[in-house]
Structure 1
C-alpha cells in the first residue's frame, strides 16, 4: 500500500488498539491515530448522566416506563392517551435510547399527566395496591420530575446533536467536530443558566467531565488543524488564529503529515498559511467569503476551488477536511458480519463472507440513506432493534456496564430475514411483554379482568420523528444538587 494512501486510523481507546498504535507509529510516523468521536461523546454523556442531579431524574423515568410496560392494562391505557404511540424509543447506543425516551416522555407530558388522573388508570388494581404503582403515579404528577426531565434534555441535547453529526454519513465530520463541541459547551452554559458565576456550580461540574473525557481524544492535532482550516469557523472568528492550543495543534499536524519533509513544512507554515490567514489571492475573493458562510458547504471542495495558489497547504487541507471522525460505520459492518457468520453457519469461505457482507451492508446502507432523504425529519440515532431499549422496559435488562446481549439482537435479525418485518414486529411485542410479566414481582390480580389481546392493540411508532419541542421549567423547582 502506498505511503500516502492512509492518512488516519480511527479506533476506540482499548488497550490493544493503543498498543497497535505505538507499534504502527514506528513504521508509519506520518499517520494520524484518533479516538472514535461517537464512542467518546457517548462516554462524555454517560459521565454526565451519572451526576446526582441527572441520575435521580433518569432513575425515576426508567422506573416509570418499566412499570407501564410490565402490565397489559397500564400499557393499554398509556397507548390510549398517547394515541397508540409508545413512550420508549430504541437508539443506536444505550445513551441514545436514554435521550430519545426522555424526549418522548416530555413530548407526551400532558397526555401522561391526564392519564395518571383518569378513571381508567385509577381502576387498575396494581396501580393503587403496589408500591411501584403509587410511585409511578406520584412521578407523573410531580412538577420537580418534569423540571428534571426538561433540564436533562437541555443539557444533553447540545452534545447529542454533535453525536448525530459524527454518527451520520451525510458529510465528513472532521472539519466540524471541534467547533461543534465548543458550540455545545456554550449552549450547555446557557441551558443551566450560568450557575457557575461564583466558580462553583452545575456548569463547572459538567464541563469538567466533558474536558476530562475529551482530553487526548477529541482535541488532538488533527482536530485542531481541521478546526483552523475550516473557513466557516476561522474566517468568522479570526481570534482562532491567535489561539495557542489551536495553532500548536496545527503545527503538529503539519509536521506529522509532511513527516521528515522540512521543505514542505517550511512552505506550509512560513508561506502558505499566512496567505490563508490574511485572505490573500483567491482567498480574498468575495465569492470565497460568501461560499464558506453556509454550514452545509463542503470545506474540502472550498479548498479545491480557492487553494490552488498554495498547492502544498491545499493538499494537506483537502486530506484533513475530507476525513471522518468516527468508526461507527465499521461497527455496523461488524454487526452485519455477525448476522451472516454464525456458530451454525461458519463454513463459509472468507471470500464468500466478504461478498455477503458487502451486499447486505450496502443494501441496508442504501435503504437507510433513501429513508433519510425521503424523510427529512428522520433521526439518525433511532435504532430498529427494540432490544437496545430493553433497559427502559424491563428491570435489569440493561445493567450498568453491560451492553445488549448480542445473541438477542442476532436472533431478531435472523427472524426478520426469515419471516419478514411484519411478523418480527408481532413476535417482538409478544416476547417483550412475556419477559416483563415474568420478571415483575407483583403478578396481576385475578380481579383485573381478562388479559388484553396484543393483536387488538393498534400501534403507531413515532420513533422516526425528531422532536423539536422546547423544554420549559414549570411550577416547583428541583434544587437537588
Structure 2
C-alpha cells in the first residue's frame, strides 16, 4: 500500500520476490542508494541470501560528491548567481521576450539553447545549467544593457562582469563536468559494475589536470 511501500520490510520483500523469480543462485549482487530504508532492506535481503553482496549506487554517490563540491564557497557563489540570472530572465515577461528575440537574432529561430535551472536533488543538472548560460552569454549581455530592462541590478552586473562572473563560471564548469558526465554514463542502462573504477579514475585525472592549469 502507499503507507508501507517505503518501509524496509516492504522493500526487502519486493526484492526477495524478484530474486526468487530469477532463481537466487543466479543473483550475486544488489545495488541500491544509501537511503536508510534501502540499507535496512539490504540487511534483510542478505540475511535470507548470504551469498548476495550489497553495493552502493555509484551514480548516487557521485551526485553526493557533486553536492559537496558545490558547497565550496567559490562554486556556491557561481551557482547562486547563475540561478539568480536565469530566474530573472525566465520569470520576467518583458526580459524573457527580449532575450528570446536576441537569441533568435544570433542563433536563428529554433536553434537557440534554453536557459536551464538545475534540479535541487539531481546535481548533474548543474552542468547543463552553466552550459546554457555560457552558450547564451552574448544574448544575455545584449538583453541586460537595454535601458528599460534594468530591473534586477545584481543580475545585470553579473551578466556584464567578465572577471567576476564568466571566468569563475567557466572554471566551475571545468570542475563539475567530469563528475556530471560520469553520472550520465553510470546511469545508462548499458553501464556495468566493472566500468566504475575506470570512471572514477577518469574523474580524478581530469580534475587534477584542470586544477593544475586553472588560474
Bucket of the pairwise TM-score, normalised by the shorter protein: 0.7 to 0.9
> Are 2:175 and 1:192 equivalent residues in the alignment?
no
Equivalent in the alignment of 1:150: 170
Greater mean deviation of Cα atoms: 35-44 or 58-67: 35-44
Equivalent in the alignment of 2:138: 110
> Are 2:113 and 1:94 equivalent residues in the alignment?
no
Equivalent in the alignment of 1:62: 83
Give CA-to-partner distance per residue, 1:393-417, whole Å, 9 cap, x none. xxxxxxxxxxxxxxxxxxxxxxxxx
Equivalent in the alignment of 1:215: none
SS in structure 1 of the partner of residue 55 of structure 2? strand
Aligned-pair CA distance for 1:27: 3.0
**Residues 88, 193 of structure 1: CA spacing in aligned structure 2 closer, same or farther, 3 A cutoff?**
same
**Residues 172, 59 of structure 1: CA spacing in aligned structure 2 closer, same or farther, 3 A cutoff?**
closer
Greater RCO, CA 8 A, separation 6+: 1
What is the CA–CA distance in structure 1 between the aligned matches of 2:207 and 2:176, rounded to whole Å?
8
What is the CA–CA distance in structure 2 between the aligned matches of 1:90 and 1:136, rounded to whole Å?
17
What is the CA–CA distance in structure 1 between the aligned matches of 2:100 and 2:196, rounded to whole Å?
39
The normalised TM-score by structure 2 is: 0.78
The answer to whether the 8 Å contact 2:66/2:124 transfers is no
Give CA-to-partner distance per residue, 1:178-205, whole Å, 9 cap, x none. 111111111011112268xxxxxxxxxx
Equivalent in the alignment of 1:163: 183
What is the CA–CA distance in structure 1 between the aligned matches of 2:38 and 2:119, rounded to whole Å?
26
Query: Alpha carbon RMSD of aligned pairs, Å?
Result: 2.2
What is the CA–CA distance in structure 2 between the aligned matches of 1:36 and 1:91, rounded to whole Å?
19
Equivalent in the alignment of 2:199: 180
SS in structure 1 of the partner of residue 212 of structure 2? coil
What is the CA–CA distance in structure 1 between the aligned matches of 2:156 and 2:47, rounded to whole Å?
62
What is the CA–CA distance in structure 2 between the aligned matches of 1:194 and 1:146, rounded to whole Å?
17
2:155 to 124, 127, 136: 136
Aligned length, in residue pairs: 186
From the two aligned structures, give the one with the greater helix fraction: 2
SS in structure 2 of the partner of residue 30 of structure 1? coil
| Structure number with bigger Rg | 1
Aligned-pair CA distance for 1:37: 2.0
What is the CA–CA distance in structure 1 between the aligned matches of 2:144 and 2:174, rounded to whole Å?
25
Give CA-to-partner distance per residue, 1:107-144, whole Å, 9 cap, x none. 12222223333xxx2223xx2xx4xx111110011112
What is the CA–CA distance in structure 2 between the aligned matches of 1:90 and 1:13, rounded to whole Å?
22
Give CA-to-partner distance per residue, 1:200-257, whole Å, 9 cap, x none. xxxxxxxxxxxxxxxxxxxxxxxxxxxxxxxxxxxxxxxxxxxxxxxxxxxxxxxxxx
1:15 to 36, 39, 63: 36
What is the CA–CA distance in structure 2 between the aligned matches of 1:182 and 1:122, rounded to whole Å?
50
What is the CA–CA distance in structure 2 between the aligned matches of 1:163 and 1:75, rounded to whole Å?
31
Residue correspondence of structure 1 range 412-427 to structure 2 within 5 A: none
Q: Which ranges in structure 1 are unaligned for 5 or more consecutive residues?
A: 196-476
What is the CA–CA distance in structure 2 between the aligned matches of 1:154 and 1:89, rounded to whole Å?
18
> Are 2:46 and 1:25 equivalent residues in the alignment?
yes
1:123 to 148, 152, 176: 148
Equivalent in the alignment of 1:39: 60
1:73 to 87, 94, 108: 94
> Are 2:72 and 1:51 equivalent residues in the alignment?
yes
Aligned-pair CA distance for 1:30: 1.3
Aligned-pair CA distance for 1:75: 0.3
What is the CA–CA distance in structure 2 between the aligned matches of 1:134 and 1:97, rounded to whole Å?
26
Give CA-to-partner distance per residue, 1:401-452, whole Å, 9 cap, x none. xxxxxxxxxxxxxxxxxxxxxxxxxxxxxxxxxxxxxxxxxxxxxxxxxxxx
The normalised TM-score by structure 1 is: 0.36
The answer to whether the 8 Å contact 1:10/1:33 transfers is yes
The answer to whether the 8 Å contact 2:70/2:76 transfers is yes
The answer to whether the 8 Å contact 1:162/1:177 transfers is no
